[in-house]
Amino acid sequence: MNYRLVAHGLMFVALAVAVAMLTSLPWAVPQLSHTPRFEAGPFFGMLGSALASAAVAAALWLFGRRASGTLYRKEAIAVVGLGWLLASALGALPFLLCGCHVGPEQPMGVVDAFFESASGFSGTGATVITDLETPELVPRCVLFWRSMTHFLGGLGFMVLFVAVLGQGSLGRMLMLTEMSGPTKSVTHSRAQVAALAFASVYLVLNAALVVALLLMGVSLFDALCHAFGTVATGGFSTYNDSVAHFQSPAIEWTIAVFMILACTNFSLLYLTAMRRSLGPMMENVEFRVYLAVLGLGTVAVWLSGILARDFSSWGEGARYSFFQVASIITNTGFATQDFDRWNQFARAALFLLMFVGGCAGSTSCSIKVIRHILVFKILRLELERKFHPNVIRPLKVGKEVWDDAELPRDILAYFTLVLVVFVLGWLALVLLEPTATWTVQGRSPNDKLIDCASAVAATINGVGPGLGTVGAAQNYQDFHTVTKLLLSFFMLLGRLEFFPLLVMFFPRFWTGE
């Protein structure tokens, strides 16, 4: 393991966090934040956090300034895995130094701050804060920083690194390690081009949504924060009622459309924009299946809600169903209604949609549509092989042949890993979490089994809100400290698609044996 090269990569992560923190400082000013007075304590707390992050970057630079050699896959994995842990740790500083509270007379502790930071960077949107709208509890500059973690995490530190600096084979290796979902290989020369294309689409979507929200009367602060949460599919809002606060169907439909775009393969969006034609998108099998699942999920939730009288009218049901299905399948986690009050079928459908996700090469977490397509194709080929053992067919998705011999094993291994982590995490929460968590909230202890499963599913898939005690109108504050640490780890696991974090627990990964 070349530790100096790893330190060189981590230096960029710490520096990016420090610079991003500075963008939160103006929101402590009354004219921008619409607060009665200058938030002096939070301002200097945020400044101190930025300086502390810069100091960490300087220390890493000193250690890694004489780095030499080639960045192999092992070092790239270490940079990505440790980088996200480092960013989450540094990102927790503003919550601690700016006087942030999780509730009245309840200052935010270290574990709560790390949970909130990891949730932001991973694009999960789970929160421990009970009141977002009181500046004395959550200063405006901290609220902006909270959404800024979405912006950084959605783009990806390594994508930003490669887009700005290139770095040849180093950039290619980092891109492949942090790439979302199975994709075709990226060459040395095209790594920076791919990173720039991804970053361009990401920035354009953010800018377009900010402008759209401003035109609909949303303040600049809220427009920026909700754009960051939408395009990064994070789901942090500036209001306790999430998007429902605006009471505007136009805003809801606009955010829903951008959630769907944000979970479309960015390479496909870039190609569509360059050709000025929807042809590439309509010809893409993954995108078509993605829209089909979205449509079928909406209809299923809508009709079940009408039959169960969850909605006052068909039109209202269509609006709420479409938004919530889009929010769950894209792993954004915004809410316009407390869907935990809907009928059992609708809740079950939303729970299953947590495991779908968007397209590969997007800001979505979860399994991804392309993996579901590939596992179906692989299983069908294996079934055919049972009665035609001598027939060899290529693995095709549409007109594209996936000729990687390792792909079937990788896909099935990934599905197995998701299942194993989900089951073990579920059992761990049931074991660790005291029954008092439910009795304090006035809920039935009988809900513990389902609620724990929901909490694990919502965090490993980057959704945020789940069912029951972690539903859309609830939060994760009442969970035990150990549970919050475990869920924080699950959020980062899901964002990095498990492997870059899990392999670091193998001693041979570090020893080089």
> Tell me: the pLDDT tens digits for 199-217?
889 999 999 999 999 999 9
Non-local (6+) Cβ contacts of 388 within 8 A are: none
Closest CA to 177 of 83, 73, 70: 73
Domain assignment of residue 164, yes or no: yes
Domain assignment of residue 502, yes or no: no
Residue type, 210: V
pLDDT at residue 185, as a whole number = 47
Burial class for 493, CB neighbours closer than 10 Å (0-12, 13-18, 19+): buried
More confident residue, 340 or 195: 340
Give residue 475's region: left, alpha or beta (phi > 0; psi -120 to 50).
Answer: beta
Question: How far, in Å, CA of 460 to CA of 462, rounded?
Answer: 6
Phi/psi at 184 (5° precision): -70, 155
Question: How far, in Å, CA of 182 to CA of 331, rounded?
Answer: 18
188 pLDDT more than 50 = no
Mean pLDDT of 308-333: 94
Question: How far, in Å, CA of 511 to CA of 513, rounded?
Answer: 6
pLDDT at residue 173, as a whole number = 55
Confirm if 159 and 195 have CB atoms less than 8 A apart. Answer: yes
Domain assignment of residue 386, yes or no: no
171 pLDDT more than 70 = no
Residue 180: which pLDDT band, with cuts at 50, 70 and 90? Answer: low
The 10s digit of each residue's pLDDT in 41-53 is 999 999 999 999 9
Give me the domain span that covers residue 191.
Answer: 3-262
182 pLDDT more than 80 = no
Domain assignment of residue 63, yes or no: yes
Closest CA to 228 of 248, 255, 253: 255
Helical (H) or strand (E) element with 400: strand 400-401
The 10s digit of each residue's pLDDT in 108-146 is 999 999 999 999 999 999 999 999 999 889 999 999 999
Domain assignment of residue 186, yes or no: yes
pLDDT at residue 178, as a whole number = 58
Number of domains in the chain: 1
pLDDT at residue 3, as a whole number = 84
Question: How far, in Å, CA of 53 to CA of 45, rounded?
Answer: 12
Residue 323: which pLDDT band, with cuts at 50, 70 and 90? Answer: very high
Confirm if 192 and 162 have CB atoms less than 8 A apart. Answer: yes
Query: Six-digit token pair at 488?
Result: 């924080």
Question: How far, in Å, CA of 288 to CA of 94, rounded?
Answer: 42
Domain assignment of residue 328, yes or no: no
189 pLDDT more than 80 = no
Residue 388: which pLDDT band, with cuts at 50, 70 and 90? Answer: confident
Domain assignment of residue 151, yes or no: yes
Burial class for 439, CB neighbours closer than 10 Å (0-12, 13-18, 19+): exposed
pTM above 0.85, yes or no: yes
Residue 186: which pLDDT band, with cuts at 50, 70 and 90? Answer: very low
Packing angle between helix 407-432 and helix 448-460, nearest 10 degrees?
140
User: Using CA of residue 228, residue 231, residue 236, residue 238, what is the dihedral sign?
Assistant: positive
Domain assignment of residue 195, yes or no: yes
9 pLDDT more than 90 = no
Most confident of 70-79, 309-318, 495-504: 309-318
Mean pLDDT of 274-298: 91
Question: How far, in Å, CA of 352 to CA of 347, rounded?
Answer: 9
Please state, rounded to an integer, the average pLDDT across all residues of the chain: 87
Percent of the chain clearing pLDDT 70 (strictly above): 90
Mean pLDDT of 245-253: 95
